[in-house]
Structure 1
Amino acid sequence: MDAMHVMEELVAELNNYNYHYYTLDAPLVSDKEYDVLYDKLVALEAESGFVLPDSPTQRVGGELLKGFTPHRHLAPLWSLDKAQNIEQLRSWNARVLRLVNEYNLKNPDNPLPAPCYAVELKFDGLTLNLTYRNGVLKQASTRGNGVVGEGILAQVKTIKSVPLTIPFKDGVIEVQGEGIMNLSVLADYNTRAAEPLKNARNAAAGALRNLNPKTTAERRLNAYFYNVGFGEGVEFADHQEMMDFLRNNKFKVNPYLTYCNDFDDVTEQLAGIEESRSSLDYLIDGAVIKVTDFRIREVLGYTDKFPRWAVAYKFEAEETTTVLESVSWNVGRTGKVTPLARVEAVELAGVTVQNCTLNNVGDIERKNLKFALGSRVFIRRSNDVIPEILGKVTEENDGGEIIFPEDCPACGFPLEMRGAHLFCNNKLNCRPQIISRITHFASRDAMDIETFSEKTAGQLYDELNVHDSADLYELSFEQLVQLNRFGERKAQNLLQALEDSKGRDLASFLFALGIPNTGKATTKMLADHFRDLDAVMQAKADELAELPDIGGIVAESIVNFFADPVVVANVARLRALGVEAKAPEAPRPVSTDSFFSGKTVVLTGSLQKLTRDEAAERLEALGAKVSGSVSKKTDLVIAGEKAGSKLAKAQQLGIQVIEDEDELIRLLGM
């Protein structure tokens, strides 16, 4: 077999693996197997001096470009009209219905159908326009002014979810999509970058409009596609047909794409998208609603700027800029000292923001914020999470200096730097550490001591010298009624709540202790595995590391925590005072021969005849592993009403779906 034929086979095989990995999120081979084939192709290309047009070796980025060449789009790239609220959205739909009705009155013999709608995510990235001739990617450009954009072919070729060749070879097409940088990729990039990137949108836009394609390749961009703007030799009846064409030609289509016959369903979908927005691994700033029927689109036509058959529904902004005014330092229950930024008040995502997180000392230095007091900074907010400062708007060190403390701001104890974090090691006499530990111990998911609060913890520390959790169980009625705002009833309620908490199970007790790097899932797993407090306290690191979801760092945290004599003494006092830390009940037998045995199952949407928790409990009893996200490892998705992106992704990946709740109940044996 000649070298050219081998190269053609290797290119086809590698591109197929890339398509499954980057577009379908369903790898067919390991990285090691892929690398062997890739290296073989590189060697053949070097030996022959020839590179096939769709070779994956083109994606690493080539030589530095001298400038961008203009590209005139074959069809205009329109902007979208915007709706800022549901009322404006309904006005847009009323206009669509009016124009359709007017047309039907004039054309009774050939009326338009009732409008149906597609709801898509509105990505916050950079618009891409790709030109394919006879199945080969010939040009890629930015949107520009909608008529002429900048040619960025070399940069776009580095995006591995962009097909270099497609099966459609009957003419010329232009396909539109959005170039993005996934948030997880941005976070990973910033851990290694000499100059961290401030946000995902700017990172993607800067990479694609960079004259060095190698820089683009380093940022590992992604792309989703949603439109065929120009098609020679291809026509579509509706949006569904066009999206099927894109999928069939190996373009990456976002799994969140919903079709609605009723406009009220559109508004429900928008509420669901906004609610799940913070869980996405990429930025969106809204959703796009499109009339699906292409004949209706043709009749509705365009204004000077916008298509009348589509509208963008804008969400509240999650990023903005404001002025960094000051930085204070707070001490947590583990002794970690974290900076809290005070910023000039600004409206963001529907709330007034004045405080922002800065994470740690390393974060301040990495984001070029050391000299940023009084300067304008980027901030981002997702849902109810405290906003984060992303970086300084300008690169100059033109602001006041953020001074890192050398001593604990609460107790004056010398601070220790561990990694990027500052720590106060004064566990026995640092007030905020102790109050936070006691408050955590009493919290609902821990010992669930009713009527207890951080304010109560502070009062007990200040007035009754309560310094650890065991001290709580030695409190007396006489002591409590002497406190300010502590009447007889409140004192009795607290003592009863403390008595009730003594029967909490082992998992809750372990969580209450506040073992570093562990959460509820880890402490439950420890309780289920060891079923005894002493066994957990005596476990070795290598034994712990063998358990699911516990790595070396968590294992060492657990061992080191129980090696602390202060912790051991406190636990001993708690047990002597009647805290049981009860072992969990024996696990119920799990079926090994049911329909669900050994399957990874995802529940999405709302069920009518049983709750999601009931369904999950029953599934686990039948041998299923219930997961919260759809991936290539998912075996089955159970979709109730208003199922959204998880159902769409399951359908894209070809995963079995149960949408009939009666069928689910039958399979559950209920």
Structure 2
Amino acid sequence: MNRMEELIKKLEEYNYHYYVLDDPIVSDKEYDKLYDELVKLENETGTHLPYSPTQRVGGAVLDKFVKHTHLGRLWSLDKAQSFDALRDWHEKNLRFIEGYNETHSDKLPKPEYILEYKFDGLTINLTYDEGILKMGATRGTGEVGEEIYEQVLTIKSIPLRVKYKGKFEVQGEGLMPLSKLKEYNENNEVQLKNARNAAAGALRNLDVKETEKRHLITYLYNIAYIEGKEFKTQEEIVAFIKDNALPVSKYHKKFSNMEDLLKEIEVQKEERLKQDFLTDGMVIKINDVKTQKLMGYTNKFPRFAIAYKFEALETSTRIIGVEWNVGRSAKVTPTALLEPVDIGGVTIKRATLNNLDDIKRKKLHLNERVLIRRSNDVIPEIMGPLKTDEEVYDIEQPKYCPYCHSKLYKEGVHYFCPNTLGCKPQLVKTIVHFASKEAMNIDGFSEKTAELFLEKLNIDQVSMLYDLKVEDLLKLEGFKEKKANNIISSIQNSKTVELKNFIYALSIANVGVKTSRDLAEHYKTIDNFLNASFDDLVAIEDVGDITANEIVSFLTDETSKKSIQSLFDHGIKVLDVEDSGDKSLEGLKFVLTGTLENYTRDELKNILENKGAKVQGSVSSKTDYVVVGENPGSKFEKAKTLNIKILHENDLKELI
């Protein structure tokens, strides 16, 4: 009993980190080993504690999301770790069908099996009614999940309308393509650990813009609830999904012979590594729906379906070095340099090391042999050290930035370089950020342009942009006179800037567009802001201790102060905030959708915000008004569903 309690506590902790925090602290292999031990103990003792992880489908529901009750339960699948286990399952199915047919005249057919990929992402459940997508939700506990309607809208393969008019729920998996994961990690300083966590983190992200950046896809494979229609086979279910223009995996195979099916699984062990999405096994389902219904469920699993889990691809190599990199967020992160090794046809030379605490927890050292794992992911995972008689060396955190030599500071488990405006590796993305529409609004700027400016023109401070001349740009590849004139003109025009834009342009950690606007509204002038104190900052709504510390740290850093002064020396004029005095819309929450005749979206947003309103990106039960123009999107539909007050352009005159 004590061992069962110990296993349950461990699995609960691992489950919380994996499903709730999206931050796994053990490998799947270690988790499965403990889980299987618990199952064995429960079967041997006949004791099934009600709080055992074997008695539930999934993790807890996060309170920060709206809870959603599924119309049909979303079941987990029992796992088979070997072909013998699949053969045993097949024999059980044969015995069930034979027993039924002996006592019933309506005979069940011999078992046919549908073989599908077991996708490794986040399970989603879509609700359609009257031909319209009404809801998207996570699986959660299987009966109650979390609403992620706005997030699933970013998955472009999901249609907003289908031809079937009855209400139904369709289940599938949200996935981040491996090519998109690689692309994301090449262009963002915060690295995504793997495609599974990237998809789960995106769909559970309240910032829908971040969800959209990850270019998720989905494959749908089951219908747990439908009104006005019945299916005879699993094949019919898949055909119905496809017939409604919903995304379905191309891989579906039917088998009447278990040995043939096992041979196909052997083939797919290699073939799945060629896919652009993560799979961690195969799913086998009985094709006949009547047989499915008669076989039924345990308290957790369907008896008519099972999952076969692939073993992770693992090998050993040596850590030969550690490279410290700096991103735009100023975070300094380590990357392990490995002796090149082949896993599944891919040569692995590098692996992510999250931070020094992670290195210490895994007890990793230089010159040490380590076990690495690749699950057809882009970034391999270092599982831990292997015993060795060779001399190993500690991995030390640098005290100074490896590029600009500024003294690093620690926040939580991460180290940061404070020199956001003068550290060269940060500068490419810092310059792009500085030039962005929400900051200095310099047209024609891309990451490629910023890289050219750094490499060819030695731009190592954002203020140096204001020294550029047309003839400097004409020396660069791809720049003709018109393009060069346009960029130089835009740079010069940016010298007069609103306070909120200037604050955002400074790239202060945790200070986004909204916080920049709030700071500008509070301080009114650039001088007031530059003298901001911690106590004054935390008194501002939505500015917490962490953000206040980031701002004070930035404003008191000598390098930052020199960079800001250099901008002023180059003619930057920051406009004071004029207090309109009209806060008639204070506290009201608006959402804008569709094309307006007399305003651009940004113009109306500024007008509303200047009157104290908050403009949201998505509709929720807390939204007060949805402003609707021509060709409105799904926000209009959701507003009607939630009975939110709709405003048309003519209605705005009374408000503004």
Q: Which has the higher contact order (CA 8 A, sep 6+)?
A: 1
- Higher Cα Rg: structure 1 or 2? 1
TM-score of the superposed pair, with normalisation by structure 2: 0.50
TM-score of the superposed pair, with normalisation by structure 1: 0.49
